[in-house]
Amino acid sequence: MNSLTEARVSEIRAFNRFYTKVIGVLQAGLLDSPYSLTEVRVLFELAHTAAMETGELRTLLGLDAGYLSRILTRLDADGLVARERSASDARKQLVRLTPAGAETFRSLDERSAGEIERLLAGLPDESQARLVAGMAEIRRLLGSEAGQRSYVIRPPRTGDLGWVAFRHGDLYAREYGWGTGFEQLVARIVGELDFSRDAGWIAEVDGERAGCVFCVRQDETTAKLRMLLVEPSARGLGIGRRLVEECLRHARAEGYKRMTLWTRDCLVSARRIYQATGFELESEETGTENGVEVTEQVWSRDL
């Protein structure tokens, strides 16, 4: 190892020691919980899927089979996960979160977000942006394939709603020829959002906005999924389905019994997500958008 490489290795190791202390992974339990970083990461992955094969989970996290088995045994004993044989292949084991596991993860997730928020609160906006950009650059340089890029889902903040209207107008004009009338429609929907009753989520990839969805009250028992969008550069990462699942999860938690959505049949990728998450076509009719013939569709499902 030459002196330049040695110095770089030393700097990276120093950063690792610094950052692991900052985020608290050196403590016996992460976020003042009885669970380690790896155990919480297992809960995180299971929280974002209905069920997962243990082999898939092991590959995703790069864990030794025996180590993962011990983790699942502990989480099972604590009532946080349930394991069962796959109906399609008895040699494979499926694992899912129990309601207690989902609640435990939700609490840990809120605590984690709160700690990061407090960390950022000590920095001015410019420094926060530099920090996030630097972290994104580290992921880009040390990551492998584009399909393995990570993303985050967060609530909307100042500036996001203008971006939602802009990206719907710009993207669908480019891809389908829809005009300013469609952008105005989206802007009206955005303007009618009431976050005392409605909710929304923004997806970020490498610190940049990459998608959105909103859950809007239609009446006391019905919620409406609105304005699902995923940027072309972020498609194929599973963001669209994750956003829809977030919307469904929120609607159930709020006590809604049914969810509907409006879309157009040319939005094939979105329609596949809706079908995969249990929505069924309720009605359709033809119309036009900026002189382009479209088929309007209403989809719905019980919650």
The reply to whether 92 falls in a domain is yes
pLDDT of residue 147: 46
For the chain, residues with pLDDT lower than 50 are 145-147
Query: What whole-number distance in Å separates Cα of residue 188 and Cα of residue 234?
Result: 26
Nearest to 105 by CA among 86, 136, 79: 79
The reply to whether 109 falls in a domain is yes
Are residues 7 and 106 part of one domain?
A: yes
The reply to whether 285 falls in a domain is yes
What's the CATH number where 158 sits? Answer: 3.40.630.30
Task: Give 71's contacts (C-beta < 8 A, 6+ positions apart).
Answer: 38, 39, 42, 63
248 token code pair: 């469904």
The reply to whether 142 falls in a domain is no
pLDDT of residue 146: 45
pLDDT of residue 262: 96
pLDDT of residue 16: 86
Decide if 167 contacts 277 (C-beta within 8 A). no
> What are the beta bridge partners of residue 287?
294
Give the burial class of 287: count Cβ atoms within 10 A of its Cβ; 0-12 exposed, 13-18 middle, 19 or more buried.
exposed
Residue 95: Cβ within 10 Å count: 23
pTM tops 0.75: no
pLDDT of residue 239: 93
Nearest to 181 by CA among 46, 255, 33, 289: 289
The reply to whether 53 falls in a domain is yes
The reply to whether 144 falls in a domain is no
Query: What whole-number distance in Å separates Cα of residue 90 and Cα of residue 96?
Result: 16
Are residues 156 and 110 part of one domain?
A: no
Are residues 40 and 175 part of one domain?
A: no
Are residues 297 and 158 part of one domain?
A: yes
Are residues 191 and 102 part of one domain?
A: no
What is the spatial order of strands in the sheet that 280-289 belongs to?
A: 151-154, 199-205, 208-217, 222-230, 258-264, 292-302, 280-289
The reply to whether 135 falls in a domain is no
Residue 86's domain comprises 3-122
Query: What whole-number distance in Å separates Cα of residue 46 and Cα of residue 176?
Result: 36
pLDDT of residue 144: 54
The total domain count for the chain is: 2
- Token pair 């976020």 is at which residue? 31
What's the CATH number where 9 sits? Answer: 1.10.10.10
